[in-house]
């Protein structure tokens, strides 16, 4: 049920995405991510419009990682940072990371193709119901997304909310 994507411009990397609802152990997962037991980004799905948004953040994280230009300490924190429209790191974690009381989680794993990835191991750590990543749209809080990314109704005349979000993520270094 998880989804795996290749990054065309970094063919040695793969991105795996998993989505869970009815989550019971957010606090525990957060601890595991902090102590390295889970090597992945734990993201608040209410801020995610589409799986493509995750891929854009992951691709940029790999790019900055390879060039030694990350703003945070790991590839996974960098994914969370890249989702944010601002350059404030703690704000990014507050909005896009998960909190102990959350009842859903979007997990993103990035791995080199030579490494083996044990998805089942990660799934076994989550006390929640796994759903298809496309179902993230049922969890999106569009009103908060629009507010945070400052998307005015006018902008939706020339594209979707996803377009607006991705365009800000890609240009935030110079905007």
Partner 1 sequence: MEEADVLRKQVPSYLAEAQMIKQGAEARVYRGRFLGRSVIIKERFPKLYRHPSVDEKLTRRRTAQEVRSILRCRRAGINAPVVYFVDYNYHCIFLEDIVHSVSVRDYIVPVQATVQGTEHLQTLADKIGEILAQMHDEDVIHGDLTTSNMLLLAKAEHKNINLVLIDFGLSYISALTEDKGVDLYVLEKAFLSTHPNTETLFDRLLKSYTASSKKAPAVIKKLDEVRLRGRKRSMVG
Show the DSSP H helices in 44-160 as ranges. 51-66, 75-83, 89-96, 119-125, 142-148
Q: Work out how close the CB of 120 gets to partner 1 at its nearest, in angstroms, rounded to a whole number.
A: 25
Kindly tell me which residue out of 35, 114, 115, 152 binds partner 1, with binding defined by CB under 8 A. 152
When asked if residue 143 is in the footprint of partner 1 (CB under 8 A), the reply is no
Kindly tell me which residue out of 2, 21, 52, 123 binds partner 1, with binding defined by CB under 8 A. 52
When asked if residue 59 is in the footprint of partner 1 (CB under 8 A), the reply is yes
Q: Work out how close the CB of 6 gets to partner 1 at its nearest, in angstroms, rounded to a whole number.
A: 9
Residue 16: DSSP 8-state: E
Instruction: Name which of 32 and 161 has its Cβ closer to partner 1.
Output: 161
- Distance between CA atoms of 23 and 53, rounded to whole angstroms? 22
Q: What are the helix and strand counts (H, E) for the chain?
A: 7, 5
Alpha-carbon torsion, ordered 152, 155, 159, 162, to 10 deg: -40
Kindly tell me which residue out of 2, 5, 65, 125 binds partner 1, with binding defined by CB under 8 A. 5
* C-alpha distance from residue 117 to each of 40, 53, 76, 111, 120 (Å): 11, 22, 15, 7, 9
From residue 8 to residue 47, the character string flagging contacts with partner 1 as x (rule: CB under 8 A) and all else as - is xx--------------------------------------
When asked if residue 65 is in the footprint of partner 1 (CB under 8 A), the reply is no
When asked if residue 2 is in the footprint of partner 1 (CB under 8 A), the reply is no
CA-nearest of 87, 104, 78, 98 to 20 is: 104
Which helix (H) or strand (E) segment is 33 a member of?
helix 26-34
Q: Report the interface residues with partner 1, using CB under 8 A.
A: 5, 7-9, 52, 55-56, 59-60, 63, 67, 152, 154-159, 163-164, 166-168, 170-171, 173-175
């Amino acid at each position: 049920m998880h989804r795996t994507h290749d990054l065309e411009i970094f063919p040695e990397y793969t991105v795996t995405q998993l989505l869970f609802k009815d989550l019971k152990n957010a606090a525990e997962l957060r601890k595991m991510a902090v102590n390295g037991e889970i090597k992945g980004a734990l993201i608040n799905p209410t801020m995610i419009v589409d799986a493509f948004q995750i891929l854009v953040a992951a691709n940029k994280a790999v790019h900055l990682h390879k060039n030694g230009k990350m703003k945070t300490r790991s590839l996974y924190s960098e994914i969370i940072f890249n989702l944010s429209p601002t350059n404030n790191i703690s704000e990014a974690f507050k909005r896009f990371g998960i909190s102990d009381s959350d009842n859903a989680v979007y997990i993103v794993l990035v791995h080199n193709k030579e490494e083996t990835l044990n998805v089942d191991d990660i799934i076994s750590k989550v006390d929640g119901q796994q759903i298809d990543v496309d179902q993230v749209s049922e969890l999106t809080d569009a009103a908060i997304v629009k507010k945070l990314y400052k998307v005015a109704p006018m902008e939706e005349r020339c594209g979707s909310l996803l377009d607006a979000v991705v365009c800000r993520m890609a240009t935030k270094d110079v905007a």
